Structure 1
Amino acid sequence: MKSLRWLIVFLISGLVLSIGVGFGFSFTMQKPKYEDEEQAGLNQKVIIRFSHVVAESTPKGLAVARFAELVRQKTNGMVEIRVYPNATLYNDATEFDALQQDQVEMIAPATSKLSARYPAWMVMDLPYAFRDERMVGEAMDGPLGKLLFQAINDPNVKGLALWDNGFKQMTSNEPLRNPDDFKGKTFRIMASPVLRSQFAALGAQAESYGFDDLYRQLEMGSVEGEENTLSNIYSKRLYQVQKHMDVSNHGYLGYIVLINKTTWNRLSEKQRQAIQEAMAETTAWVRHYAHDINNRALTEMKDRHLMTIHMQTDAEKKAWKKAVSPLYDQYKDIIGEQVLAEWQKLNSRPQ
């Protein structure tokens, strides 16, 4: 009987094996190999974390959300941009180091935050360097923009675009009409040598604090005033801790969109192309939208009487420009002759 049972087992096993071979089944325990090893990772979803420090309702916050959606559409969901706003992942003091060290994949710091690392970008911080958003767009689309992105020579950081946030205004608890009104006061700035020199030229002190800590520092009285775009002033509710705003448009604030090179190099060519297309579309969109959202923020603050708002006059602008004009000579050698020459070409064009 035992021999008969073994015979039955043997016959059944042979029958199963024959059926498997007939239908092309494989009983190997080895994993199938790809004919082209480069195709192995294409079916794996890519996660890219995008950290930023402002509210989701600001030009940058909305641009990041729009960019993320465009990337999702263009890659059929195979590349996901996960957005971390309001410094929930990293603040503006730590995000760049995190990017370098592969701890986050994308950031969009203000130009002022990186000007000390890449001195050519200091041209963006010079007071009254740009007349309007159109001039900024012409600069970034032309030789000047090319020079600036070439200046980002970090081995693990790649520049993708410059996103508009608009022009900065001054806020304080006292009116700031003339250069003398700045004397003896302390203002919060981003960590930029040019901005520190700007307030020094106006007779004021400057302290560098992260954007996420700005409201608290104003509330505590650590600083008496600050400069920012209308959308940032409104979304951050700085009107609750500042009584006056002088609409001066004295300086430009934009964001350099950066990606970690380790991440960039791991992407397929199609994925890179999709990201670049999404970035170009988002950049074009935010150029128009930033201007509109700043205007809406100004209207809202006026209509609700949230602050005393003063529109800078031509005479006041002339006095401010005269007070800060020494900065151009002070930083010309640091910024570089070639960058300033391209800026001067733009500045010399008829308005």
Structure 2
Amino acid sequence: MTTMKRLGICALLAALVLSFPAASFAREFVMGHTGQPLVTFAQAGEKFAELLDKHSGGKMKVQVMGAAALGNNREGIEQIQQGVTDFWLISTGLLAPFTKAVTVYDIPYLFKSEKAALDFVNSDLAMEVVKPLEEKGIKPLGYFIMGWRHTHSNIAIRTPEDLKGVKIRTEPAPIRMAIFKAMGANPIPMDFGEVFTSLQQGVIDAGENTFENIKSQGFHTVQKYITTDGHILDPMLIVMSKKSWDKLSDEEKAVLQKAVDETCKWEQDNVLANNKKIMEEFKAAPSPEVIELTAEQRQGFREASKSVLKDHEKDIDMAIYEKIMKFQEAYPEEAPNS
């Protein structure tokens, strides 16, 4: 982050603090994220502010700054570490530079079903996975999810072979790029804000995202197909500055955690329902065509991406991976339906 940009953000945060209504004893916090108002996790930020205000009796208040008003995710995490911003909402994939433990979530087809994934992210084990972030000044509080990531394209994709040579935008995480390399595609890491124009101009042929993000960003207007491969069920975290957390009393921490837990439940319920609703909307429309893979077709994608785990064992905490596999042993395999 440049010095001028840092100064600008600090000035904005100072103005935010001054804008809070005068209230005795109130603790005042700032939350940042990059989501647009239409996506569920952005709405969950507002829900958190509402619940924290309610459970604290007005003694803990949060100003939510979305749509990258406080900077991009990298800048936001820098602010969290410095204690400049108190909370941030972020995909686990973007926290890999701080702990390799979270790279386990990038493994393709990690979760056997939506139910298995939800039960896991709400478990104590899932919080153990992200605990090492505390050593970097980042306090993880709970999990949101963005939903299943599907492939959107101008080419009908029903088999891994259909991806050969396709220029596809991915997040700049090595394992996520490796998923599509394994299928013969040409993965191109690109800033999220550049994707629509790049699709529109043919710079790239495809991308991969949740139904909610596909709609909110208008990708469906410049793509002909969406293939429901569900290669990743994308988890997110609500994190807090460790510096801010350590200033709280035990009672305040308990109140804050209660608000977080209720917010996570609200977000998970609503994001899955909204993704499913959008999927049905697209299926009923003339375009884009939603290609729902059969169990056999989906297995083909699993097989084609098996090499990713083997090739990236050094980047993954394999002990955590084995624990996740054991956790969901009793769950049946189910195709994504949202």
Shared fold per TM-score greater than 0.5 = yes
In structure 2, the partner of 1:70 is 51
In structure 2, the partner of 1:16 is none
In structure 2, the partner of 1:346 is 327
Measure how far apart 1:292 and its partner are.
0.7
Correspondence 1:303 to 2:271: no
Query: Which amino acid letter does the alignment assign opposite residue 180 of structure 2?
Result: F
8 A contact 1:56–1:85 mirrored in 2: yes
Counterpart-to-counterpart distance in 1, 2:236 and 2:172: 14
TM-score (structure 1 length as normaliser): 0.83
Counterpart-to-counterpart distance in 2, 1:221 and 1:84: 33
3-state DSSP of counterpart to 1:163: strand
In structure 1, the partner of 2:230 is 249
8 A contact 1:87–1:212 mirrored in 2: no
Counterpart-to-counterpart distance in 1, 2:42 and 2:279: 18
Query: Which amino acid letter does the alignment assign opposite residue 82 of structure 1?
Result: Q
List alignment gaps of at least 5 residues for structure 1.
Answer: 1-41
CA RMSD of aligned residues (A): 1.9
In structure 2, the partner of 1:187 is 168
Correspondence 1:294 to 2:261: no
In structure 1, the partner of 2:252 is 271
8 A contact 1:59–1:164 mirrored in 2: no
Counterpart-to-counterpart distance in 2, 1:179 and 1:254: 24
Counterpart-to-counterpart distance in 1, 2:304 and 2:81: 38
In structure 2, the partner of 1:13 is none
8 A contact 2:169–2:207 mirrored in 1: yes
Correspondence 1:217 to 2:193: no
8 A contact 2:134–2:140 mirrored in 1: no
In structure 1, the partner of 2:92 is 111
Tell which deviates more after alignment, 234-243 or 90-99: 90-99
Q: Structure 1 263/321 Cα, relative in aligned 2: closer, same or farther at 3 Å?
A: same
3-state DSSP of counterpart to 1:171: strand
Tell which deviates more after alignment, 194-203 or 206-215: 206-215
Tell which deviates more after alignment, 61-70 or 76-85: 76-85
Query: Which amino acid letter does the alignment assign opposite residue 221 of structure 2?
Result: Q
Counterpart-to-counterpart distance in 2, 1:79 and 1:143: 26
Aligned residues: 310
Q: Structure 1 298/216 Cα, relative in aligned 2: closer, same or farther at 3 Å?
A: same
TM-score (structure 2 length as normaliser): 0.86
Counterpart-to-counterpart distance in 1, 2:93 and 2:104: 10
Q: Structure 1 148/179 Cα, relative in aligned 2: closer, same or farther at 3 Å?
A: same
Alignment of 1:63-212 (within 5 A): 63-142=44-123, 144-212=125-193
Counterpart-to-counterpart distance in 1, 2:273 and 2:122: 21
Counterpart-to-counterpart distance in 2, 1:187 and 1:93: 23
Q: Structure 1 54/191 Cα, relative in aligned 2: closer, same or farther at 3 Å?
A: same
Q: Structure 1 350/73 Cα, relative in aligned 2: closer, same or farther at 3 Å?
A: closer
Counterpart-to-counterpart distance in 1, 2:248 and 2:123: 28
In structure 1, the partner of 2:5 is none
Q: Deviation per CA, 1:279-323, whole angstroms, max 9, x where unpaired?
A: 011112222222111111112222333411111122221211111
List alignment gaps of at least 5 residues for structure 2.
Answer: 1-22, 333-338
In structure 1, the partner of 2:336 is none
3-state DSSP of counterpart to 1:267: coil
Counterpart-to-counterpart distance in 2, 1:337 and 1:250: 19
Measure how far apart 1:350 and its partner are.
4.1
Counterpart-to-counterpart distance in 2, 1:140 and 1:298: 23
3-state DSSP of counterpart to 1:47: strand
Query: Which amino acid letter does the alignment assign opposite residue 110 of structure 1?
Result: S
8 A contact 1:93–1:210 mirrored in 2: no
Correspondence 1:235 to 2:190: no
List structure 1 runs of 4+ shifted beyond 3 angstroms. 141-144
